[in-house]
């Protein structure tokens, strides 16, 4: 088995959506592994609390107020990393939002918002970090979902944004095959975070509750550890559950069967938008 000599010690890692959920777990896990972490999120007060806590424990962490839908904020995030630490070794594009509604009922502004955050946020940050990641032969990570491998009913905007992210990152990987750049797509299973409560409904308002049993899901820390391992071993895709791996296999072999499976599963959610 291939053994990695990679260590996060002194590596500079930029993480978006870092104030909660998977992003915050990545901050904590990678800081504990010795990385210098640059945290980006809109919730600056939360970021500053995290920064104070981690720096008090001896970690090198800085907070940067970042709305990934604003290209200027993404430029500032990368420049802040360079000003503080002089380099960028890893970019984890984690910032994201979800949705839950049938497309026929959904306001187009919701689809646009999903694309702005999930897709263009990744594009903006990657564009401005890329020269420095090529210099360090570093890693770009897109935190995605099985919804980026096969359409997820009731989540049209979410699936579309993740499919777009996949196409962007896979093409970027091919363009840089000879440049030493590592590009990885990470697809957690359902993870116990606030993402479902914050998911947008048909009119763009937050759902406000989770339609799933959170206690049975992966924890954000488990996801962060697997992302860290994927970076260490320079994996192409990290699909984190058996169900996810099986879904990707079915998508390649019998996609029409997966259509029915996804429909059946999602229609059984409480207050499902379809039956």
Is 124 catalytic? The answer is no
- Strand pairing of 139-143 and 90-93? parallel
Helix residue ranges per DSSP H, the chain: 21-32, 44-56, 71-85, 108-114, 121-136, 156-175, 220-232, 242-253, 255-267
- Name the burial class of residue 82, with classes exposed (0-12), middle (13-18) and buried (19+) by CB atoms within 10 angstroms of its CB: middle
- Coil, helix or strand at residue 78: helix
From 124, 158, 209, 263, the catalytic residue: 158
Query: What sign for the dihedral angle of Cα 216, 40, 161, 100?
Result: positive
DSSP label at residue 147: G
**Any idea which residues carry the catalytic annotation?**
158
């Amino acid at each position: 088995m291939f053994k990695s000599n990679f260590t996060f010690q002194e590596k500079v890692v930029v993480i978006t959506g870092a104030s909660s959920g998977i992003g915050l777990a990545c901050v904590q896990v990678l800081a504990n592994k010795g990385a210098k972490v640059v945290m980006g999120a809109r919730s600056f007060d939360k970021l500053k609390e995290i920064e104070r806590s981690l720096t008090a424990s001896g970690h090198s962490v800085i907070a940067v107020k970042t709305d990934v839908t604003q290209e200027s904020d993404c430029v500032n995030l990368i420049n802040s990393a360079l000003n503080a630490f002089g380099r960028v070794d890893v970019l984890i594009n984690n910032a994201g939002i979800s949705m839950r509604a049938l497309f026929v009922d959904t306001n187009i502004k919701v689809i646009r918002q999903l694309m702005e955050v999930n897709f263009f946020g990744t594009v903006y940050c990657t564009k401005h970090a890329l020269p420095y990641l090529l210099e360090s032969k570093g890693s770009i990570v897109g935190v995605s979902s099985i919804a980026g491998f096969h359409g997820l009913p009731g989540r049209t905007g979410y699936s579309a944004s993740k499919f777009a992210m996949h196409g962007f990152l896979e093409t970027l990987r091919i363009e840089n095959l000879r440049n030493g750049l590592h590009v990885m797509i990470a697809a957690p299973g359902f993870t116990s975070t606030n993402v479902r409560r914050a998911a947008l409904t048909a009119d763009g308002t937050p759902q406000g509750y989770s339609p799933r049993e959170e206690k049975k899901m992966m924890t954000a820390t488990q996801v962060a550890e697997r992302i860290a391992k994927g970076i260490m071993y320079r994996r192409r895709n990290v699909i984190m559950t058996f169900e996810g791996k099986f879904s990707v296999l079915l998508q390649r072999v019998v996609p029409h069967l997966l259509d029915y499976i996804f429909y059946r599963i999602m229609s059984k959610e409480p207050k499902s938008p379809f039956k």
